[in-house]
Structure 1
Amino acid sequence: MYKVKSKNKIHTMFYVFFVLLILIIFLSFNYYAKSLEPVSSMDKKPINIDIPSSSSTKNIGEILEKNNLIKNKWIFLLKVKTLDNKAYLKAGNYSLSKSMDLEEILNALIEGGRSGNTISFTIPEGYEIKDIAEKLEKEGLINLDKFLILVSEKENFEGEFSFLKHLDKEQSLEGFLFPSTYEVYENHSEEDIIRKMLEGFEEIYIKDIEKNLKNTDFDLNEIITLASIIEREAKLDKERPTISGVFHNRLKTGMRLQSCATVQYILGERKERLTDEETGINSPFNTYINEGLPPSPIASPGEKSLIAAIRPADVDYLFFRLADEDGSHTFTKTYKEHLNAAPKK
């Protein structure tokens, strides 16, 4: 009787062990298969990484895992071991995304990245898209026509930058190509340059804008539009919040902004003085004849103008006019004071 019980116990233990073994094998294969899949199949935003020369396979796996491009560096190493002996992972710069599965990433690494030679370019604050395009073409960095087509509709990059989803359909990237100094690789594309500038905007958006939007009565497009007007009107950084305060006050009271910068945008040139005919141009961008903000930005605002737009100075001014050659303004509360605020000679 004891032997029968002992034998049954051994059979039970063997059965449990066998079931556990099958379960472990199943879970291991399932985990392996899952690790080969993309980290996020819907996230197509490019992630630029550098693979230094003489990097080991382990180093490459760590770089990929650190940038959240693969799920597990050890599965990456295991997958590399299954490659043909002639397949080498190459050093260089790569533009990858979380939507790529492990095999696609490996194929990219085998094919090779871009060389490390870079070119820098600078986009000044207050540039319009046409100014940006002309500057980049003059520097031999883009094909102007292709660049203008790509930036003409936000849908071209909406899948990579979520903030663009807040803009109107078919809106251009005017105002969202952040002005700064950038580096691109020698064999860059027009898309690479645009992404660089959109990444620059995204950084400021996350840091200064997104969390503060809920404290305003404006949406993202309106804030960037206001910031672009501030950028074109202000000459001195210290005056940006005050100019923003004036515009906020006018918008609250239903006054027209009457910004010369918006008319200059329509004209396509920057003029010191505007004629009555020019300030009467029939255009949704003309803030002399329309209340509220223009439908979209008129230039690329810098960080200080962006912050000023979302954090205006607490002032009761409604007017400002150029006061001196240094770009300073005189701020006033009434139209009579505004008329009497003659520029310094």
Structure 2
Amino acid sequence: MDRRVKWIGIGVIGVVLILCIAMITMYLKPNSVAGTPQDVVFTVDKDQTGAEIGDMLYEKGIISSPTTFRLALRLTGSMDKLQQGYYQIPQNASLRQVIALLQKGKLQEIKVIIPEGYTIQQIADELEKDGLGPKEAFLEKAKTYVPYQYMYGPAKVDYRVEGFLFPSTYEIPVGSTPEEILKRMAGEMNKQLTPEIRAQIEAKHMTIFEFITLASLVEKEALFDEDRPIIAAVFLKRLQIGMPLQSCASIQYILGYPKPHISIEDTKLPSPYNTYMHVGLPPGPIANPGMKSMEAVLNAPSTDYLFFVADKEGHHHFTKTYEEHMKVVESIYGE
């Protein structure tokens, strides 16, 4: 009997030790529930309980178990130390890091990453995801926000600011209005358009509006940096001889999503942005280009190439004639 009690006691101690080790591991180990690490912004409201906060963190993929979160709060004496406000927490943060951040108080600024080639719609989605207000409010303001005269082009567009919000990482104060955010991003683009760059644009006999429009096409067509200057050169050559640009990126802009393969029917879509049907540049930029695409336009080499096609890895192949172009297309896609 005594021996049985002894073994039961040892078993209980063993289970407790295993649970303790598991708890400590979950407390210290970075969260692996989410895919790629990224910051998640959320709000802790006044009088929200630790259990409610745990459920919210679990739903956003920041923690792997709300039960473990609540237990960790109790064991560390942090249940009543979590503060209300805005928070920005990496999805791969450990439970210890999450609890520590939630005790520091609300954010004063939110980090927002705007990649090269984002459209105004994508920027609005990103701002909403990061907790900086509804995208509808941002898009509504973007329709009328035109701080610089060079944003005006010859044709009507939905968003004059499209193309003129510089892709970068921004620290945006919590509570910023759509106009304040637009002012920050458009101001950064204006800053990047240095006197030297403006002189280069003028030397190419282009307006800033035309330059940004062309750079946006290059941005959306190119996946690899080495292709950008040649793509720009092909577009410039076509503009020079009055040949339609026939940019698949312009069709994707009309469609509103990056369709992998553009069909013949797609190239006939009735839109002023359809560069298969209309000669010259589209009415305005189709995305917000980064500096590499702008530099590609400025430094485009002289070329006799008139055609290009991307292979399945995204590398572009350039040809001088339509016959050569179709041979390359057939060799890549078998069509």
TM-score by length of 2: 0.63
Question: 1:119·1:184 contact (CA, 8 Å) conserved in 2?
Answer: yes
Aligned-pair identity (%): 42
2:129 matches 1:138: yes
Aligned residue pair count: 226
Secondary structure of 2:297's aligned partner: helix
The residue number in structure 2 matching 1:298 is 286
Letter of the 1:131 partner, please give it.
Q
What TM-score, normalized to structure 1? Answer: 0.61
Give the equivalent residue in structure 2 for 1:129. 120
Q: Distance in 2 between matches of 1:270 and 1:238?
A: 22
For residue 270 of structure 1, what is the aligned residue in structure 2?
258
Match in the other structure for 2:187: 199
Structural mapping, 1:66-145, within 5 Å: 117-145=108-136
Shift of 1:324: 4.3
1:270-317 deviation per Cα after TM superposition (whole angstroms, max 9, x unaligned): 111122211101111000111111010000111111121233122221
Displacement after TM superposition at 1:209 (Å): 3.0
1 CA distance for matches of 2:133 and 2:190? 22
Alignment of 1:9-20 (within 5 A): none
| Aligned residue runs from structure 1 range 8-87, under 5 A | none
The structural deviation recorded for 1:343 is 2.3
Q: Unmatched 5+ residue regions in structure 1?
A: 1-114
How many angstroms does 1:116 deviate by? Answer: 8.8
Partner SS, residue 120 of structure 1? strand
Distance 2:296 2:187 in 1: 21
1:232 is matched with which residue: 216, 220, 239?
220
Residue 250 (1) aligns with residue 261 (2): no
Which runs of at least 4 in structure 1 moved beyond 4 Å after TM superposition? 165-171
CA RMSD of aligned residues (A): 2.2
C-alpha distance 283-169 of structure 1, shift in aligned 2 (>3 A): closer
Deviation at 1:210, TM superposition (A): 1.2
Q: Of residues 329, 332, 335 in structure 2, which corresponds to 1:343? A: 332
How far does residue 143 in structure 1 lie from its aligned partner after superposition? Answer: 2.3
State the one-letter code of the partner of 1:148.
L
Structure 1 residue 197: Cα displacement: 0.7
Q: Is the 8 A contact 1:184 1:192 kept in 2?
A: no
Q: 1-side partners of 2:189 and 2:196: how far apart?
A: 10
- Contact 2:307-2:318 at 8 Å conserved across structures: yes
In 2: Cα distance, 1:265 partner to 1:165 partner: 20
> Equivalent residue of 1:214, what SS?
helix
Is the CA contact (8 Å cut-off) linking 1:257 and 1:288 kept in structure 2?
yes
| Structure 1 stretch displaced more, 188-197 or 288-297 | 188-197
